[in-house]
Structure 1
């Protein structure tokens, strides 16, 4: 699983991802808590989430064209600097009248992330190729994400209580600058290709090229559809986990342990899936992982004690991480690198929209009918996404290429 770390440029990209992601997650709890502290308003606090979701939904396809049109390495460096400047605005927030600066900072930071993610996803195969090293790279990134999610938010919440928001903002700002420096140290791979793409046609013509690719390469289009359906259901289930933990399992402590179980499973699943991704067709591996995820969620919501719920949570993390690594690797292998930025941006846009709608739908259905009904409905949709993968995705191994 560590094969990709033998490649110097990937080590630098991986470090950049790790350090900037950790800085961002330190603020996940701190910013809403600070807004609530300043205003006492739940609505004002909720707008912090909306400010982060808006740019991915509106700018996703545009970001994909830019990732294919411009030098991706320079784009990643520029967006890290943009995000550092954006979070610096938070240092100016002192009283309730300054809260608009929080929303401006979050929107600007999110714009930078929207531009960074497709560029990074498209640049990774340029660095490591699309063979086993790509699977290694995606598995390592999944472990990084799982670890940061497990540690970042609780650590940020604790540091916020001790040191305040200002200290966390300075840490996050520094992590973005460190990420930019790491990317500066990478080789200028793919820069010529990016310049050629940038001068080959008008912006909207290039946007249309991405759409045409998804029309002609149905495997990529169906893969995006499967992942979007899964993420909508997963967002609903995630939104229901906290009330389930509090009402059924006994309180916030039990809920926190449940979340830790999910994170632990995520860390276990990424290395386990490493070899299977290179040996099994996407239809079988992704379909099986998604159906197992839906089944594990059913077991979780059937539980009436933490002892029964915790193993189900770990299983969800294992098969859920396997599904995400499989989907990402398959998309990178199916899609030509010249349009991978645009296709990745479509993926991230669908992810943001599905997560937003799912997070609203799950609690709304639970309020209208019952928590159990909403949970089992989302579990059924998750299993359905697995059946879609079995029917619609390639049943042969995806061809890989050297770096």
Structure 2
């Protein structure tokens, strides 16, 4: 494996691990500092809107400025915002407003950094000679691994160290991710194509939206990704916790979520090894059939065993779908608008999971965990039906020269 690819993947997993640790550690530190669960919600809400807006407009920057540079700066911003929390505690004493302000600053690094690394995938594959399927598969495998290890590492660190020290460790992971990104040659981050975008920021942003609107293929891929996020958000965030609470087996929730993550890890590992050997249509079919079947097994809530099997199946199929979509987007999105297209997708994904939780919560309030599960599953069936009927996925195989417009 080329050194540059190892550096790219290392940067990716370190950034995700840092985010995973912070997602567990920060709410606990807020509770220790303020003693108020409401303040945890205030911080989450206060950072959500800036994260979406920054995510949207980051794409404009990524299509104008060297993407490697953007990735490095984003990780350094994330590191500085996290490291500033214990520093503020030492110098001034932490309160809610310090935590809100620093969390908002962190949003300027997290979402742009995630998008920048995603935008770099085609360049890393092209310049190193690593097959795109293998690179995307490895990247997705590390993502699944980080989802499992991040919270576990947070729990271990919080037992061994004070909360502020854990934050310094988290900041160090982001800083190290930035250093590893610097291993990539500067030319990897150059924007190829029609040159720097012209017009106002809003005009440049809408140019990315026009690319999506003008391509059934790309719109279909984004639709599948967002629909999947809505359903997973509702299932993980409300349906399963409520179900296992009602049946008095709350301890099984962790095992089901672990099964989902392990399934994702298995699916991405398979794709990384043999992804280039099978037709894209085969991978897409397996992914869509597996996802639909798995969601039906989970959301019908027949028994904990059935839910567990469904979670494994969804994990594997979700990994195959994510890897296949990642490869297709890397191939088909024009480089000069790649940052804007992916930033639009990632910004929508930020609100997709909360939307799924909100939908499930409303239905469960007036119904049951079963009706809530069926409601979010219906979202997936509608999205899947629309995408298939639009014939957006007719042509999935690689071409020597592809155009996003159909």
What TM-score do the two structures reach when normalised by structure 1?
0.89
Instruction: Indicate the RMSD between aligned Cα atoms, in angstroms.
Output: 2.7
Counterparts of 2:197 and 2:235, CA distance in 1: 45
Match of 2:395 in 1: 396
**Greater mean deviation of Cα atoms: 216-225 or 185-194:** 185-194
Q: How far did 1:237 drift? A: 1.3
Higher deviation after alignment, 356-365 or 47-56: 47-56
Aligned equivalent of 2:195, options 194, 197, 200 = 197
| Partner residue in 1 for 2:242 | 243
Kindly tell me: are residues 329 and 109 of structure 1, through their superposed partners in 2, closer, same or farther at Cα, counting changes over 3 Å?
same
Which residue matches 1:60? Answer: 55
Q: 1:171 to 1:262 in 2, by over 3 A?
A: same
Looking at structure 2, the residues matched to 391 and 140 of structure 1 have their Cα atoms a distance apart, in angstroms, of: 32
Q: 2:74 aligns with which of 74, 79, 99?
A: 79
Between the two proteins, the alignment pairs up a number of residues equal to 395
Once the 2 structures are TM-superposed, how far is the Cα of residue 262 of structure 1 from its aligned partner? 0.8
The C-alpha deviation readout for 1:186-208, integer Å capped at 9, x for no partner, is 11124554698347555344323
Shift of 1:159: 2.1
CA distance in 1 between partners of 2:16 and 2:98 (Å): 22
Match of 2:404 in 1: none
Residues 1:123 and 2:120 aligned together: yes
Does residue 384 (structure 1) correspond to residue 382 (structure 2)? The answer is: yes
Deviation at 1:20, TM superposition (A): 1.9
Seen in structure 2, the aligned counterparts of structure 1 residues 193 and 37 have a Cα distance that, compared at 3 Å, is closer
Quick check: 1:69–1:194 contact (8 Å CA) kept in 2? no
Structure 1: unaligned runs, 5 residues or longer: 1-5
- d(CA) in 2 for partners of 1:360 and 1:287? 30
Could you tell me which residue of structure 1 aligns to residue 185 of structure 2? 187
Distance of aligned partners of 1:55 and 1:376 in 2 relative to their CA distance in 1, 3 Å threshold: same
Query: Does the aligned pair in 2 maintain the 1:135–1:278 contact within 8 Å?
Result: no
Q: How does 1:316-395 map to 2 (within 5 A)?
A: 316-392=314-390, 393-395=392-394
**Displacement after TM superposition at 1:179 (Å):** 0.9
Indicate conservation of the 8 Å contact 1:65/1:341, yes or no. Answer: yes
Return 142-151 or 121-130, whichever deviates more. Answer: 121-130
Distance 1:145 1:52, change over 3 A: farther
Does 295-304 or 266-275 show the bigger shift? Answer: 295-304
Aligned to 1:228: 226
| Residue number among 87, 107, 111 corresponding to 1:110 in the alignment | 107
Query: Is 1:39 the counterpart of 2:57 in the alignment?
Result: no
Q: Does residue 308 of structure 2 align to residue 310 of structure 1?
A: yes
User: Within the alignment, does 1:22 sit opposite 2:30 as a pair?
Assistant: no
* Structure 1 SS opposite 2:120: helix
Q: Distance in 1 between matches of 2:119 and 2:277?
A: 19
Change (3 A) 1:196 1:74: farther
Conservation of the 8 A alpha-carbon contact between 2:220 and 2:393: no
Distance in structure 2 (CA, Å) of the matches to 1:196 and 1:296: 43
When normalised by structure 2's length, the TM-score is 0.88
Structure with the largest fraction of helix: 1
Q: CA deviation at 1:346?
A: 0.8
What runs of 5+ residues in structure 2 fail to find an aligned partner? 402-406
| Shift of residue 80, structure 1, vs aligned partner | 1.1
Shift, 1:153, TM fit: 0.8
- For residues 15 and 193 of structure 1, what CA distance do their matches in structure 2 show? 23
- Are 1:126 and 1:190, in contact at CA under 8 Å, matched by a contact in 2? yes
Q: Secondary structure at the residue paired with 1:263?
A: helix
Contact map agreement 2:133 2:275 (CA 8 A) in 1:
no
8 Å Cα contact 2:197/2:204 also seen in 1: no
**1-structure distance, mates of 2:371, 2:179:** 49
- Of 133-142 and 188-197, the range deviating more from structure 2: 188-197
